[in-house]
Chains A and B, each alone.
Chain A
């Protein structure tokens, strides 16, 4: 029997789902291997009544509706895979790291709290803030090759783990010159690999869009960049864009320890 899967999007740009659709050569194979029960981006014919073997979920939980959907998906799925930066780390929308309460920030932007009426807003958070996540596929957006590999593991009943090494590994494999050594801000050492070190290969420092690796030595890199003459605020800004909720917390603590802000 083919594994039943669903592909869902919460708050995000839908780029991860789009990249699944972009697996043009392999798409038919995927339809052949999996029984796709729900993929609203590809087809309106969705069957939400059945139990799923695997649910792929993109986007952060940013509204009450997101949360309601996520809980429902979790309930009916054996394996839940967070796909893309928003789902795993909270996305760019979760980068905020001032001490202010979220509601104050929200009101600064949207005025009174009930300005958005479609659904109640929540502070953007990754899926793992609310439900158990069985596997994660990082990327912003996710890349075709790692997605297909993950799918390949899932059809063999294996819940895969991502390689726990940074962009630098792939960057060295590509025989690039190290941009940090050249004095550029490059988040390679702190960032999940899988992208093939695409930015450093084009002489652009890594912006960290695949999210922080488990053991990121952010403190040492911040100090290194300051040693190279960068302004702390500029460094913190770069670090927080794709840092997600967890790194925001770490950076807050770091700044406190360093006696700043």
Chain B
């Protein structure tokens, strides 16, 4: 006889939330701070997720889609997202004013294995919108600074105006308990005070104990190969190289199948994968 299962809460039911703050990071990328309305859920939900997890955000009549959480559970109260206007849902989301209601489900996904990273040096490489999940992990690491070894954060953008969270990183650069390097591919207006070139050029600043380093990359697909090669040159082992992937998802819970790759559901087995996974599961990137 099959095991009888208790019928619990409906996992498709979204939770009401409000946009409490929003501003443009670039022309087509906007920062959203969203607060769950039910006061009993605010703390439990916003303090217990893992960096690298995502939420399903929906607007009735328009649809639901997955978005990386860019805030850190070490600063609970709100969920933050950094969202590019690309489709039907995001177009509508960009039309919403502050205090508008949106709906959230989650958090979902495996997130970064933070517990495995404790005691290790951390090396981040972010490009474009890839900063979204990495910012979560970076802020988490900075808020729990004593848990980690050296921290290097490398961030590339096309031009100065395309750099997401530019001002925030300018401020973070001034901290002396970690190293933050920012670069742009080109600087048409001649205003950029830091490195100009591709993000991999910033590896010249990196001094980590490679065998004991967790290296994390997120960015446009073309970036992965080059960055991963740099990690490998440094000597970071395959299973300590982490990347987070994007796929179409309708449920976020390993059911709808639309994110499936081989035998992995990106929504529950990912979105964070190691280089070892990527080498062994064909079709992952």
Contact = CB atoms under 8 A, between A and B. Distances in A.
Complex: A in contact with B (CB within 8 Å): yes
A152 B88 contact: no
Nearest to B92: A158
Mostly, the A contact residues are: loop
A40 B62 CA distance: 31
A157 B95 contact: yes
A156 B61 contact: yes
Contacts of A153: 61
Nearest to A155: B61
Interface string A209-223: 000000000000000
Instruction: Give the one of A153, A158, A160 with max B CB within 10 A.
Output: A158
A157 B61 CA distance: 9
A159 interface: yes
User: In which size bucket is the chain B interface?
Assistant: under 10
Contacts of A160: 88
Interface in A67-103: none
A105 interface: no
A156 B88 contact: no
A2 interface: no
Interface string B43-62: 00000000000000000111
A237 interface: no
Contacts, number: 14
Interface residues of A, number: 8
Contacts of B92: 157-158
A152 B61 CA distance: 8
Contacts of B62: 156, 158
Contacts of A161: 88
A142 to B, nearest CB: 20
A3 B88 CA distance: 19
Nearest to A152: B61
Nearest to A160: B88
Interface string B24-67: 00000000000000000000000000000000000011100000
A152 B92 CA distance: 15
Contacts of B61: 152-153, 156, 158
A159 B88 contact: yes
A200 to B, nearest CB: 26
Contacts of A157: 92, 95
Interface string B123-143: 000000000000000000000
A152 to B, nearest CB: 7
Interface in B63-101: 88, 92, 95
A159 B88 CA distance: 7
Instruction: Give the one of B60, B61, B95 with max A CB within 10 A.
Output: B61
Contacts of B88: 158-161
Nearest to B60: A156
Interface string A163-185: 00000000000000000000000
14 contacts: A152-B61, A153-B61, A156-B60, A156-B61, A156-B62, A157-B92, A157-B95, A158-B61, A158-B62, A158-B88, A158-B92, A159-B88, A160-B88, A161-B88
Given A156-B62, A161-B88, 7 more contacts: A152-B61, A156-B60, A156-B61, A157-B95, A158-B62, A158-B88, A158-B92
